[in-house]
Amino acid sequence: MSAALSSELARLVEVARLARERAYAPYSGFRVGAAIETPSGAVYSGANIENASYGATICAERSAVACMIAAGEKAIARVAVYTEGPTLSMPCGICRQVLGEFGPGATVVAAGPSGARSLPFGELMPEPFRFAPPGASS
């Protein structure tokens, strides 16, 4: 666990906690909330949405990213993920890739009733996949 969170991160964790309450998780029972803050200071939240086919499930982090994009923003400064499992839950692999697309320099915090841990996105995913179209300079 890290030291106490800054007031900005604690506020973001609270938004993620509230989003978790709206999760739709009838299959796993594992409800997740996420909150994203952009460099402009806007905050977008999301909750996981399960589906009977499992593959159509949307994670809370990607739900929040979709809200951010729909609002016209494309950069993440901070992201908080809130769960209530026995351990803190960091974003899954596909969410890490999506978060890296919009927030490679973001701070990520995983939180729950037992506390919180924050770290730079680069520590969470040090070598994300990058696509360079043919002919683009490196």
CATH code of the domain containing 53: 3.40.140.10
Q: Considering the domain boundaries, does residue 106 fall inside one?
A: yes
Q: Is the pLDDT of residue 3 over 80?
A: no
Of the pLDDT bands very low, low, confident and very high (cuts 50, 70, 90), residue 46 is: very high
Residue 2 lies inside a defined structural domain of this protein: no
Q: Which of 61, 73, 84, 127 is catalytic?
A: 61
Write down the residue that tokens 């993440």 correspond to.
Answer: 76
Asked if the structure places residue 132 within a domain, the reply is: no
Which pLDDT tens digit goes with each residue over 66-103? 999 999 999 999 999 999 999 999 999 999 999 999 99
Is 40 a member of any domain? yes
Percent of the chain with pLDDT over 90: 88
Which tokens in the block code for residue 33? 């909330």
Is 14 annotated as catalytic? Answer: no
The total number of structural domains that make up the chain: 1
The candidate with the shortest Cα–Cα distance to 73, out of 64, 81, 82, is 64
Averaged over 7-32, what is the pLDDT?
97
> Does some domain include residue 32?
yes
What pLDDT is stored for residue 105 in this prediction? 96
| Parent domain of 67 | 7-124
Per DSSP, 49 falls in state B
Q: Would 91 be classed as within a structural domain?
A: yes
How much is the pTM?
Answer: 0.92
137 in a structural domain: no
pLDDT range class, residue 135, cuts 50, 70, 90: confident
Which band of pLDDT confidence, cut at 50, 70 and 90, is reported for residue 126? very high
Q: Is-contact 37 8, C-beta < 8 A?
A: yes
Residue 2 has pLDDT above 70, yes or no: no
Helix (H/G/I), strand (E/B), else coil: 78: strand
| pLDDT for residue 137 | 65
Cα 77–chain centre separation: 11
Q: Tell whether 45 is covered by a domain.
A: yes
